[in-house]
Structure 1
Amino acid sequence: MPPSPTPGPAGEPRAGDASDPAGSTTPDASPPPSETQPSSDAPSPPSETQPPSDAPSPPSDPRPASIVAILAGGRSRRMGIPKAGVLLDGRPLLAHAADAARAAGLRPVVVAKRTSVLPDVAGLERWDEPDEPVHPLTGVAAALRRADAPIVVLPVDLPRVPGALLAHLAARPEPVVVVEAAGRVHPLLARFTPACAGALAAAAAAGSPVVATVRALGAAICGDAVVRPLGDPARSLANVNRPSDVRDAGTPER
């Protein structure tokens, strides 16, 4: 199991803070579609659905996470086929995500719609999320309620995430921690606690953007100081959203 970096202090900057050393995006900026909804391909909702910025932050929950919820309930419209089964280096994306969770010493589960087509990955438990709404946070809220404990969330289309990064997120004490590296926020590569479930479900029902939702919850940042020592973020955090991305994410020939 790769060594886990030492968890950052609870007082690290929050998502979108100007003090964040990783580089911030302004709260009203429109992040790339792959960042706001990496596992659903859902269209960006209108700005009026954003949650209020004065929403109360959930209480801290220092329990370490033991589960990685792999989000695989999206429509995969840009890929054209279900992403979970797309082959990368001869193995489905879902298997790569499960491997990363196990490398972190965590238990992987896959969260998807009842109708989602998933490849068979040995030892991987499936948790069904509600059929509606079709929104990335639907699966997160469902997983939190089922686990009734802090979880780490990993989109199935991030196949190169290091296990050590997942282990770091699992050990953080804050209620919401999201990864932001090289100036880009990854709101679904994150740690959430059960106290967030209601707010996340409400945001999904309202069609709220994911980035705005995690900011409203006071998300702390896991930034470059943690991510870069584990590898180039351009590769380790690369989304596989389109067929061309599979080629780019493959293992370079020696």
Structure 2
Amino acid sequence: MLAGGRGRRLGGAKALATFSGEPLIKRPLAAARAAGLDAVVVAKPDTALPDLPVLVEPAEPTHPLVGVVAALEHHGALVAVACDQPWVTPELLRALAEHDGPAIAVADEPFPGRYEPSQLPVLRAALAEEASLRRTLAQLAPAVLGAPAALVRSLNTPEELAAAERALDEAARP
């Protein structure tokens, strides 16, 4: 679970932003656990998080790939999910985990995705260049599972968070 971002667009502490009465990070964590995956949170040293085990990534540089590289170096092959992806399902995460080789759920979206140690040279080079995620993803050329894009949607702003809350409320009505 990647939770090292600054959350500037959301106003900070993205992982702790309230969504459906809980910290935003709880939903993707629950999906990972329900998929039978060992959930590990990767974050910057000063990231505010609920009481969770955390793999601390380097403070610099600030790039989403820092967490992926840190996790690959410590844990080997992994399924990376962003803390702001509350719609991911256990089935999607399990499909990524069981895939033979690198894969992403949706074309051009790096998370959630299965990453492997063999990708470390490309990932490290991308970090050194501060390359964009999408450019790096094109270099990695992972398989695409073709999941519905709605399952990987991130909540990045207060407006997106509020709209997602309204959608949950509407879906819960009879």
Partner of 1:205: 128
Please name the residue that 2:58 is paired with. 130
Q: Distance in 2 between matches of 1:93 and 1:71?
A: 12
More strand by share: 1
Within a 5 Å distance, the mapping from 1:139-218 to structure 2 comes to 139-147=67-75, 149-174=76-101, 176-180=102-106, 185-218=108-141
Cα RMSD for the two superposed structures: 1.3
Calculate the TM-score normalised by the size of structure 1: 0.64
Which of structure 1's runs of 4+ aligned residues deviate more than 6 A? none
Taking only the aligned residue pairs, the percentage that are identical comes to: 39
TM-score (norm 2): 0.91
Which letter does structure 2 place at the counterpart of 1:127?
A: L
Per-residue deviation, 1:188: 2.4
AA of the residue aligned to 1:195: S
Structure 1 counterpart of 2:163: 248
| CA displacement at 1:152 relative to structure 2 | 0.1
Q: Which amino acid aligns with 2:121?
A: G
Amino acid in structure 2 at the alignment position of 1:151: L
Determine if contact 2:108/2:137 at 8 Å carries over to the other structure.
no
Instruction: Name the CA distance, whole Å, in 2 between partners of 1:198 and 1:142.
Output: 13
State the Cα distance separating 1:196 from its structure 2 match: 1.3
Larger radius of gyration: 1
Q: Which runs of 5+ in 2 are unaligned?
A: none
The structure with the largest helix share of the pair is 2
The one-letter code sitting in structure 1 at the alignment partner of 2:3 is A
Q: Which amino acid aligns with 1:201?
A: R
- Structure 1, residues 193-227: CA drift from partner, whole Å, max 9, x if none? 1111232122112110111112112211111xxx2
Matched residue pairs, number? 169
Query: Which letter maps to 2:155?
Result: V
TM-superposed CA distance for 1:113, in Å, is 0.5
Shift in Å, 1:179: 2.0
Aligned partner of residue 127 in structure 1, secondary structure: strand
Counterpart Cα distance in 1 of 2:141 and 2:161 = 34
Q: Which has the higher relative contact order, 1 or 2, with Cα contacts under 8 A spaced 6 or more apart?
A: 1
